[in-house]
A and B are shown apart, each in its own frame.
Chain A
Amino acid sequence: MAEFKSNSKLERILRAGHFAFTGELGPPRGSSVEHVREKAKPLKGNVDLVNITDNQTAMVRMSSWAASIIAKEEGLEPNYQMVCRDRNRLAMQGDILGAYAMGINNILCLSGDHMQFGDHPGAKGVFDVDSTQLINMIKKMRDEGVFQGGAEIEEPPKMFIGGAANPFAEPFEWRVHRLAKKIAAGVDFIQTQCIFNMEKFRTWVAQANDMGLTEKVYILAGVTPMKSVGMAKYMKNRVPGMDVPDEIIKRLQGAEKGKVADEGIKIACEQIEEFKEMKGIAGVHLMAIEWEHKVPEIAERAKVLPRPVV
């Protein structure tokens, strides 16, 4: 077996052939360490890796690297998210070195939601590099030991590099090519957008399999349990890039009073069961938005416990 690219736990889990199960933690809109510790508790032992979001939805939050360190102290494996919106290549590389120095081994490279969606719509967007270029920049830092500008790095950061994919947005036929570009740029794992349209997702994975892409990258399928009919409608109509079929909304509407959230979890668990068997899918990324405390129950019901120890 080839050498490990990083000292990331996620890499060890995936390389060993385990079905990965990852979660998410949104840092607070303040400097409360306790807030992060509280959110970390239900995730510990139930997921392999926790995405620490970076000024999610263009709202200022505790920085991803800082919250990652707190999460790590709580025994979680953080996935440090980095968006291209807020910093240029100098700041990015500096933060990557710093994060690695503090024991962070996973990074997720994202474009970031546009400034217009957050509470600082007048902010100057940076977008010095895009997400594909960020992946490539980190790969060169790690594998070639050079900064983007060409200078040598004394101790290269050995990061496990992640990227995102949205299998649903138009032009649909281009989506798999964008995945291919991220792979060529050097991505190690992919977490997808929340999946609700399973039929479209199957088509996308089949394309990726046909092109041999799933042999080159670990794909974790994005799952979000719906808490309510309102949430499903909001995601369908208001959240860019989401594809929520009407059947999902109808199914939630058909649930007994007080049982809608339970139905949402049930749908998520059915999806996870299917992903376990799906060729080309290496795991699930659970985005239980502001629902961290439900993760143990979802993990239990999705039969992904206990998590492997590697």
Chain B
Amino acid sequence: MIVAERKPFDEISDLLAGYDKILTVGCKTCVAVCLAGGEKEAALLNKELMLARKVAGKPVETCAALVERQCDMEFLAELDDIVDQYDAIVSMACGAGVQFMAERYPTKPVLPGVNTTFIGVNRDVGWYEEKCRSCGNCLLGITGGICPITMCAKSLMNGPCGGTNQTSCEINKDQPCAWYAIYQRLAGQGRLDNILKMTEIMDWRNNVPRTIVQPGYEQRKAAFSDK
């Protein structure tokens, strides 16, 4: 899932200076699971805003709404009837959600309430770990299910660097060395052959906006383009 963190209150407060009627929209999916932008967090942010603005002598009117997924236009449509009543929208979704909302309501300021941080896993309640950089060229099949792009601080593709410290990474003793772990995992499976060959230079074409259209949906996309 996508893991996000609530922005510091002062930053959100600064973004909202000058707006008196605010719609805060939570998202029920990833950001709700990681306790950053779900129903509770949207309501809490509104309370903080109201209190701060009351203290400052500039009261604010807020409303909290919640949609299933802000990365899906059909769920955003639920907001169409109320958006006009507000000066600005705070989206508590990931960056994708914020942008989709801003696209749907182009005349309305849509402001982010969270920092989208990484694609990760839920290790325990309140504890999330990054696992994927969505590089677009998955190496997990040869690296024993451990991602060297994400888990190695240098994203090395051909084994541990000289800085690896016993079993940990040079940047931090608490950070395991990804390549040590890859080696151990593959050795245990008798698959060390996987990493004896040189891994060629990667195609990092992930820094252009990427689009995927599954086969079978191409016509549907073409119809959109025609509109």
Residue positions of A touching B, CB distance < 8 A: 84-85, 89, 111-114, 116-117, 125, 127-133, 136-137, 148, 164-166, 169-171, 174, 177-178, 180-181, 184-185, 193, 240-241
Contacts and interface: CB of A to CB of B under 8 A. Distances in A.
B154 A148 contact: no
Interface residues of B, number: 31
A128 to B, nearest CB: 6
Nearest to A121: B171
- The winner among B156, B159, B177, B179 for most chain A CB atoms within 10 A is B159
Contacts of B117: none
Given A128-B204, A184-B198, A111 B154 contact: yes
6 cross-chain pairs, A with B, having the tightest CB-CB distances, nearest first: A166-B162, A240-B170, A240-B163, A132-B158, A178-B159, A130-B156
B197 to A, nearest CB: 8
A114 B158 contact: no
24 contacts: A111-B154, A117-B170, A125-B153, A125-B154, A125-B155, A127-B155, A127-B156, A129-B201, A131-B161, A132-B157, A133-B157, A136-B201, A164-B162, A166-B161, A169-B163, A170-B164, A170-B166, A171-B180, A171-B184, A174-B159, A177-B159, A240-B164, A241-B161, A241-B163
A130 B157 contact: yes
A129 B204 CA distance: 10
- The winner among A89, A128, A181 for most chain B CB atoms within 10 A is A181
Contacts of B158: 130-133, 178, 181
A133 B160 contact: no
B162 A193 contact: yes
Given A85-B154, A114-B153, A114-B170, A174 B160 contact: yes
B99 interface: no
A148 B170 contact: no
A184 B153 CA distance: 24
Contacts of A84: 154
Contacts of A166: 161-163
B80 interface: no
Given A111-B154, A117-B171, A177-B196, 13 more contacts: A114-B153, A136-B201, A164-B162, A166-B163, A170-B166, A171-B160, A171-B180, A177-B195, A178-B158, A178-B160, A193-B162, A240-B170, A241-B165
A131 B183 CA distance: 18
B200 interface: yes
A129 B196 CA distance: 18
B134 interface: no
B170 A113 contact: yes
A240 B196 CA distance: 24
B200 A133 contact: yes
Contacts of A136: 198, 200-201
Contacts of B167: 170
Contacts of A112: 154
Interface string B39-56: 000000000000000000
Contacts of B183: 171, 174
A128 B153 CA distance: 13
B162 A241 contact: yes
Contacts of B155: 125, 127, 130
A180 B196 contact: yes
A106 B200 CA distance: 23
Given A132-B198, A148-B201, A169 B154 contact: no
